Structure 1
Amino acid sequence: MTCAWHHTSTFISIDSNGRVASVEETYRLIMLLNGLSDLERDIVVCLAHVYPRSISASQLARMIGVSIKARTLSRGVLQRLQDNECILLDKLTPRMYAIRINHEHPVLTEFINLCRDHGEELRDYFMNRMDGES
């Protein structure tokens, strides 16, 4: 159950786990997501829902429905997200990276919490896609 409290022009939302999110934090999250391209937004949404898992580029491509062979999910897109501190790329081998959302980014931490609290169906969808199911 979520409750809200309005006091002196500050709106605070308290979720079922006692986490507090202000309207300002929510606004920052919306603006961050709005500033991303469609593909970048798909990546961030997917990674927020499967956090704390790290995934490979081929798993990510399968999860968001793009072809890894068409190079739609290029290193350029991932590099931009890393440069903007939205994702973390851990180099496992010269050609393989583990990709995860930057859970230390204050705005993305709030997004992860929202996904954890309200995104179970989408998380299940992404996890099934990662495992190769349609």
Structure 2
Amino acid sequence: TYATLAELAGDCDDPDARRSFLVRTHLGNYALWLSGLFPDHIEHRRWRRGGPDLDYYEEMGRRGFQLAADHRLAENHGLATLYATAAERFGLLRAALNDISDSLLFPDRYSPERLMRQVTTEARWRRLH
């Protein structure tokens, strides 16, 4: 059991190749799950307890997926391209999950942090189109 993403990242180079690969994928998946579906919780912890911000989760998730893509087992199982793409587009994946979270999971919660995140995300989407 890991209490932080940093602890999880610390096990990415486990000598057991299978475990190393699984830890790397878990780092990406867990960072995406937390930052995608629970961004308000992350921001709340950031402001109340000094926890890391969404950029930290993006960086750790991107790192986890890229490390997974670079692992030989990803190539062996045909997953290298998938994980490399997830790493490259982590911010967009997170933003898409944020929209789902905001509209379906927590539609009646409003905060200045949520508004700022939504504005930032909207600006990111506009730059892509």
Superposition TM-score, scaled by structure 1 size: 0.26
Higher fraction of helix:
2
Superposition TM-score, scaled by structure 2 size: 0.27
Higher fraction of strand:
1
